[in-house]
Amino acid sequence: MGDTAAAAVALDETDQKIMKQLEYYFGNINLPRDKFLQEKIKEDDGWVPITTMLNFNRLAAISKDTDKIAAAVKASGSDVVVISEDNTKIRRNTENPTPENSLEYWQKIKHRTVYMKGFNTDTQLDDIIKWANQFGETENILMRRTKPGDRTFKGSVFATYKTREEAEVAQKSDVKFGDIQLTKMMQDEYWTMKNKETKEARAANKAAKSAKNTAEAAESEKAQNAVHYEKGLILAVDGIKGESSVDSIKTFFKQYGSVGYVAHEVGNATAEVRFNNDSEGGAQKAWEKAVEAGTDGKVMMNDAEITARVLEGEEEEKYWTEFNNRKSQKQNFRGGRGGRGGRGGRGRGGRGGRGGRDDRRGNKRGADGEDAGPQGKRTVFEDADGAPAGTDAE
């Protein structure tokens, strides 16, 4: 059983410092969250040897004399700590246990705690305590520090006062710390502000991440869809007679280079002739040969003078972009066939079913059975061997 003095006797300055430090260690705020002391008080019914307490630097800096520390506790009449009968151990006064370590308790602590910011990073705790106590009695001053490995003072503290009223006096006071005007607010207001900032930061980070992902996806898609081609292969021809066919145009230009594809809508005066990349000099060289073979610099095809120019820049890129898009659509269409109703599938399409053969009147019918109607003009591409390739041969 620990002994307490029947009445406190006068303590010298050192004894007062000893008691203030011990009452802090075993106080309502520090003890519940001090992992070291929590482990120690489990070992011997709450008792902690004075020699162990000297591991705390602030106590050891005041006095390392175990007898003096024991005498100070015994003479103080403290209701927070008591000394053992053999004067070697200290514990929390069992008649004044710590409050229940609950959320409600810490909410009350927060309600009388002031956030103070603006101290120099080399400011000492004793100087802060002395300054803060002019507004009321402080129970705890928590110096906020950087990460555990560094422990540098951040220049801000949480100062907990005995009452809410004292905390409000400290928060509202414009008294400077030396020549520094501190930033102060109640801790509950501080955490409300920080929670808002955290949410806003998370939202901003999420938006930035989303924007980054969108930009990267767009860039990736752009890279995937980028048109890769050899320049100078496309010859835009004008002045073609209306009855000229794709085959006749291709036959004409085969005299001057290796023709890969011809895009021409029957009846139009224009065509686009693509030369193969193994054609020396590409479209420009082929046209020069055609001019050389002409009369007086005129190039005649099917009794009509034609003109031509090699596509460059945006026009050339547009040509290849449109061609690649048509090519992709065609590949997608081919890849989708073979299901119900498709060729090779198990459905109701195919020959003799609802798959689009001519009806008895000879009209072309769609897959839904309706007349497809007369077919309009279409652009025809042909490959180098003369086989028609629909809208875009490959």
Spell out the residues 6+ positions from residue 100 whose beta carbon is closer than 8 angstroms to its own. none
Amino acid (1-letter code) at residue 167: A
Q: Average pLDDT of 114-123?
A: 95
Residues in Cβ contact with 181 at an 8 Å cutoff, skipping those fewer than 6 apart = 118, 174
Binning pLDDT at 50, 70 and 90, where does residue 214 land? confident
pLDDT score for 103: 85
Name which of 75-84, 214-223, 234-243, 256-265 the model is least confident about. Answer: 214-223
What is the distance, to the nearest Å, from the Cα of residue 87 to the centroid of all Cα atoms in its chain? 60
Q: Which residue has the tokens 């690649």?
A: 324
Q: What is the pLDDT of residue 336?
A: 57
Q: Kindly give the interhelix angle for 13-25 and 66-76, rounded to the nearest 10 degrees.
A: 80
- If we measure between CA atoms, which residue out of 310, 305, 132, 146 comes closest to residue 230? 310
Q: Report, as an integer, the average pLDDT of 17-21.
A: 93
Say if residues 5 and 77 touch (Cβ distance below 8 Å). yes
Dihedral sign of CA atoms 200, 205, 206, 207 in order: positive
Residue 130's φ and ψ, nearest 5 degrees, are -60, -40
- How high is the pLDDT of residue 23? 93
Question: What mean pLDDT, rounded, does the chain reach?
Answer: 82
Other CB atoms within a 10 A radius of the CB of residue 224 amount to 7
* Secondary structure (H, E, C), the chain: CCECCCCCCCCCHHHHHHHHHHHHHCCCCCHHHCHHHHHHCCCCCCCEEHHHHCCCHHHHHHCCCHHHHHHHHHHHCCCCEEECCCCCEEEECCCCCCCCCCHHHHHHHHHCEEEEECCCCCCCHHHHHHHHCCCCCEEEEEEEECCCCCCCEEEEEEEEECCHHHHHHHHHCCCCECCECCEEEEHHHHHHHHHHHHHHHHHHHHHHHHHHHHHHHHHHHHHHHCCCCCCCCEEEEECCCCCCCHHHHHHHHCCCCCEEEEEECCCCCEEEEEECCCCCCHHHHHHHHHHHHCECCEEEECCEEEEEEECCHHHHHHHHHHHHHHHHHHHHHHHHCCCCCCCCCCCCCCCCCCCCCCCCCCCCECCCCCECCCCCCCCECECCCCCECCCCCC
pLDDT tens-digit map of 290-323: 999 988 889 999 989 999 999 998 998 889 888 8
What token pair was written down for 383?
């490959």
Give every strand in the sheet of 304-310, ordered side by side.
Answer: 259-263, 270-275, 234-238, 304-310, 299-301
Q: How far is Cα 75 from Cα 12, in angstroms, rounded to an integer?
A: 11
Please compute the mean of the pLDDT values over residues 109-118 and round it to a whole number: 94
Structure tokens given for 70? 């024991």
In this structure, how many other beta carbons lie within 10 angstroms of the beta carbon of residue 275?
Answer: 28
Among the ranges given (164-178, 252-266, 365-379), the one the predictor scored with the smallest mean pLDDT: 365-379
- Closest residue by Cα to residue 139 from 182, 188, 90, 98: 98
Q: Are 147 and 76 in contact (CB under 8 A)?
A: no
- Hey, what domains does the chain have and what are their CATH numbers? 13-92 (1.10.10.10), 103-192 (3.30.70.330), 234-332 (3.30.70.330)
Question: How far is residue 321's CA from residue 132's CA, in Å, rounded to a whole number?
Answer: 73
Distance between CA atoms of residues 117 and 110, nearest Å: 16
Q: How high is the pLDDT of residue 335?
A: 66
pLDDT of amino acid 10: 78
pLDDT attached to residue 333: 78
**Token pair listed for 164:** 């809410």
